[in-house]
Amino acid sequence: QLNAVIETSPTALAQAIAQDRNGTRSGLLHGIPILIKDNIATTGDGLTACAGSFAMEGNIAPRDAFLVQKLRAAGAIVLGHANMVEWANWRTLSKSVDWRYHPPLLTMFHTNSPRSARGGITKNPYVLTARTSGSSSGSASTVAANMIPVAIGTETDGSIVGPASLQSVVGLKPTVGLVSRTGVIPFSARQDSPGPMGRTVADVARVLEAIAGFDPTDPASKDAPVPEYSQTYNALTSFKNVRVAISKEAHDKTKNRFLSPEHIDAFNQGVEKLKTLGADIVYAPYPNAAAVSKSKCEFDALTTEFKVDVEAYLSTLTWKEGVTPMKTLQDITDYNAAHPDTELNVLGQSLMLRSLNSPNQTSSVYLDALAVCQDLAVTNGIEKYIKDTQADVIFALSATWSPGYPAIAGWPILSVPLGYKHSVPFGVSFVTPKYHEEKLLQYGYVFEQATKARVAPQFLPDN
């Protein structure tokens, strides 16, 4: 009914039975079934990570993704692959929201429901005709529908936060490098970050503890101790002595056509709840928001990185006998063109073709884009915002620009449920500097417990 699961592992049940017979607890996630996004590789369990694309069927990964190794070591049962927006939404420009001038999250919030050739359109368990956002649409949908307790998504810009928000689950995009990307079909090695999705902050904290950690094969990975998130997420009971930064401009519906009175009212109630919990609220506009959008720096950088990083991943694969191997992005676009009924007619591939012809990573176009992003979005953007406001955390509706800054900067962001409009959920996000996930989870937990915003889905046919 939801098109949220692409495939299940034929070995999962045997693994679960073996754990039961063993009689001893194997780790933090002992016996917990978990779905992983269709861009996360596994081996020996009958699954094939394809990023939602038929072009990738028949590939053989050299080993489990590093995070899958950690899941298995923690006792989790990898049940299967969740549906996703094909190639993490890098197929074609939306007709209603131009990717070049809007953050990817806004694009996925306000365009047609995300889909993949391999899995179809993922449906929202709250209202079946409502948007799910993406690209981790299936991961959020299965958790929201109570099909699975927890799932893994990935985010380049908004791909965990968006689906979590629109399907009333908790979603965490960690600091880039806190969770290994090795064995994950990439979009951008500079911005990609896998993260957990669950119905509660507590569940997300447990999964994060299991999958975080140093991977010497991931250049972004940091060799540092992993906090016991499962033990510390509930360490705070209030926001006393916590300074919270909020941009009124980002939540002005006259300046953001995607916000409704319901969004604004719920957000304002959330702010009042923070105040009653003891938060010190400081209001300040996001610096350079318009300039970042107009510069297209993120779009230009990602255009090049998609080709480079996807082809680097393809070089690690072998292929089943009789299957035409995909060795380059050109191979993939050629496959799509040769299979229009399944791959091209609905999805298009203008973005893939743009990447195919993009300047390389030594070009002035690419290097200038990185420099502009670093200047406008990071140094004189989110870093300046935190410094000038002296805030501990940023608080924003998930349907605003909130994911864009942390995406470019590599900062973590946590979305928790907030409210509903015509039975369709929407969430709110907390953002902290890098490697502050312990505090981020604590802030999210206090807010979650104070608001109790999440309700079970009703699978309504329409809103």
Is residue 260 classed exposed, middle or buried when 0-12, 13-18 and 19+ CB atoms within 10 A define those classes?
Answer: middle
- Per residue of the chain (463 residues), give pLDDT as tens: 899 999 999 999 999 999 999 888 989 999 999 999 999 999 999 999 999 999 999 999 999 999 999 999 999 999 999 999 999 999 987 644 455 555 555 555 555 557 899 999 999 999 999 999 999 999 999 999 999 999 999 999 999 999 999 999 999 999 999 999 999 999 999 999 999 999 999 999 999 999 999 999 999 999 988 999 999 999 999 999 999 999 988 888 877 777 899 999 999 999 999 999 999 999 999 998 888 878 899 999 999 999 999 999 999 999 999 999 999 999 999 999 999 999 987 788 999 999 999 999 999 999 999 999 999 999 999 999 999 999 999 999 998 777 789 999 999 999 999 999 999 999 999 999 999 999 999 999 999 999 999 999 999 998 7
Which letter, b or e, does each residue of 59-75 get, where b requires 16 or more Cβ atoms within 10 Å of its Cβ?
A: bebeebbbbbbbbbebb
DSSP state of 118: T
Identify whether the C-beta of residue 204 lies closer than 8 Å to the C-beta of residue 441: yes
Joined tokens for residue 51: 């990023």
Q: Which of 9, 37, 53, 307 is catalytic?
A: 37
Looking at CATH, the fold of the domain delimited by 5-451 is given as Amidase signature (AS) enzymes (3.90.1300)
Domain boundaries, the chain: 5-451
Q: What is the pLDDT of residue 2?
A: 96
- Indicate yes or no: pTM above 0.85: yes
Q: What is the pLDDT of residue 109?
A: 53
Residue 221 annotated to the active site: no
Residue 135 annotated to the active site: yes
Q: Which of 53, 133, 159, 402 is catalytic?
A: 159
Q: What is the pLDDT of residue 93?
A: 74
- Cα–Cα distance, 114 to 83 (Å, whole number): 10
Residue 248 annotated to the active site: no
Q: Which of 135, 141, 180, 293 is catalytic?
A: 135
Alpha carbon distance, N-terminus to C-terminus of the chain: 17
Q: What is the pLDDT of residue 100?
A: 53
